[in-house]
Structure 1
Amino acid sequence: MDIQEQKLRLDLAAAYRLAAMFGWEDTLYTHFSVRLPGEGEPRFLINPFGLMFDEITASNLIVVDGQGEIISGDAKYNPAGFTIHSAVHSARDDAHCVIHTHTLAGMAVAACESGLLNVNQISAEFHEQLGYHDYEGVAFNLEERSRIQASLGENMALILKNHGLLSVGETVADAFQIMFYLNKACEIQLAAAQMSGVSAIELIPDTLAQYVSGQFQKVAHERQIVWDAWLRKLDRIDPSYKE
């Protein structure tokens, strides 16, 4: 195993452990992946089916190719996870990491016809940077991959309607922070909706939201700084993800 793959394994395992800390688990379901370097058909790391997020380590991640063949590892994967992640990895050269979640807030907003609203500064980061994909059932049908690709387009995140959230990034740090704030934006919207009986929700105008989104894009490099801080926190709490 080369140094680059080992680094990606460490980062992806850390992402699973942090997600467990943040309460993003859905028992054995949902999945994060990272594409391995190399020419030709994409190969990516993903979680072995049967392990909770807090059981994931760098060494027990499995390697799957674009046809669904297990290249490395002694466990199976979630077929729906393969459909979603292989779709994104094969369509976007910059989509090195893909994170998919079923959080309460994310699923609640995914169930709303209006989608994500410009409720808050955090929500504004995703203005015109967020795609929507219509629900087609559990993602077992490989033919859905082309439609997932079209729905995502060049956006940094996707709301899978009546399902959950998805983020992409050039690094694990990018994809993880995008998901962190997309989920937080959904939490804020859910909380604001609960207050709507007391006071009307004031939305940020589209023109201002577009400006704010541009401001966030200019400091996207700070995602790595935040990631490094999260890794230090994880190392203090439980560094066993490195095993």
Structure 2
Amino acid sequence: MANAATDHPSRMTQEEWEVRKDLAAAYRLVSLYGWDDLVFTHLSARVPGPEHHFLINPYGWLFDEITASSLVKVDEDGQIVDPGATNRVNPAGFTIHSAVHMAREEAGAVLHLHAADGVAVSAHPDGLLPLSQTAMLCIPHICFHEYEGVALNLDERERLVADLGDHDIMLLRNHGTLTVGKNVGEAFTYMYFLMKACQIQVRTLAMGPGHTPSQQALDTTAQQAQSLGAGHKLAWPALIRKLERMGSDYAT
């Protein structure tokens, strides 16, 4: 067993181990914030190196069970490539992730959730509304993908990638949310802001139509939103410290 702080299993590089720890931390944080969906949905990360290999959760594990060493390494088709792996994966669950990773070379991490507030906003005709500062920071990064059924059809990947383009946040209509980042911390930061904005929208619309800021305010915030992803540089280390204070074993 590797030491959580420094060592790594002999079958992988230190760089891969660091990505594993970050991805396992993201799974634990998704559970902590109540965004998980039993053993369903996935968070993935690219393994450093020239191979198109990725890390994803072992099928059948709850998000609060996942550790760095339990993550499974797969290829672009979701097939296990790590000979030391003893856990299995759900290849169908990697359909969305493989599409994004393969189309976007800089996509170090892809997070996909079915959290209730995110699904609710994805089903709203206008998607995310500018009802909060958080939403206004997210809106310039958002795109949409229409629901086609459970993501089992590989042909859907081309349409999803076309809809995503160079955006970092996607609302999958009637389905959920998706974020893309250069690393796990950036993708998680986008997801945090998106889910907070969705939660605020659901609560606001429960009271009535809500107030929309002036166009000038919307335009100003859209310009400021370009640095949204950079927030992970401060937020992600703080979240890791939070897990460690809780005594989480995510890094084992």
TM-score (norm 1): 0.94
Identity of aligned pairs, percent?
Answer: 44
Letter in 1 for 2:217: L
Partner residue of 1:9?
Answer: 20
Partner residue of 1:237?
Answer: 246
Preserved CA contact (<8 Å) 2:106 2:182 = yes
Partner residue of 2:68?
Answer: 58
Structure 1: gaps spanning 5 or more residues: none
Partner residue of 1:38?
Answer: 49
Letter in 1 for 2:238: A
Deviates more, 1:208-217 or 1:132-141: 208-217
Instruction: Give yes or no for the alignment of 1:127 onto 2:139.
Output: yes
CA gap of 1:176–1:56, structure 2 versus 1, over 3 A, is same
Partner residue of 2:97?
Answer: 85
Preserved CA contact (<8 Å) 1:118 1:205 = no
SS where residue 148 of structure 2 aligns? coil
**C-alpha deviation, 1:43, in angstroms:** 1.1
**C-alpha deviation, 1:219, in angstroms:** 5.8
* Residues 171-197 of structure 1: per-residue CA shift (max 9 Å, x gap): 11100010011011100110010010x
Partner residue of 1:221?
Answer: 230
Matches within 5 A, 1:1-243: 1-40=12-51, 42-72=52-82, 73-196=85-208, 200-218=209-227, 220-243=229-252
SS where residue 238 of structure 1 aligns? coil
**C-alpha deviation, 1:225, in angstroms:** 1.0
Deviates more, 1:207-216 or 1:94-103: 207-216
CA gap of 1:78–1:210, structure 2 versus 1, over 3 A, is farther
Letter in 2 for 1:70: I
Preserved CA contact (<8 Å) 2:190 2:229 = no
Structure 2: gaps spanning 5 or more residues: 1-11
Preserved CA contact (<8 Å) 2:189 2:229 = no
Preserved CA contact (<8 Å) 2:74 2:81 = yes
* Residues 144-190 of structure 1: per-residue CA shift (max 9 Å, x gap): 10011011111111000000000000011100010011011100110
**C-alpha deviation, 1:60, in angstroms:** 0.4
Note the aligned Cα RMSD (angstroms).
Answer: 1.4
CA distance in 2, matches of 1:205, 1:118: 10
TM-score (norm 2): 0.91
SS where residue 250 of structure 2 aligns? helix
CA distance in 1, matches of 2:26, 2:38: 16
* Residues 9-54 of structure 1: per-residue CA shift (max 9 Å, x gap): 00000000111110011000011000112225x2110001110001
How many aligned residue pairs are there? 239
* Residues 117-141 of structure 1: per-residue CA shift (max 9 Å, x gap): 1111000112231110000000011
SS where residue 54 of structure 1 aligns? helix
CA distance in 2, matches of 1:9, 1:54: 15
**C-alpha deviation, 1:93, in angstroms:** 1.5
Letter in 1 for 2:37: D
CA distance in 2, matches of 1:80, 1:130: 25
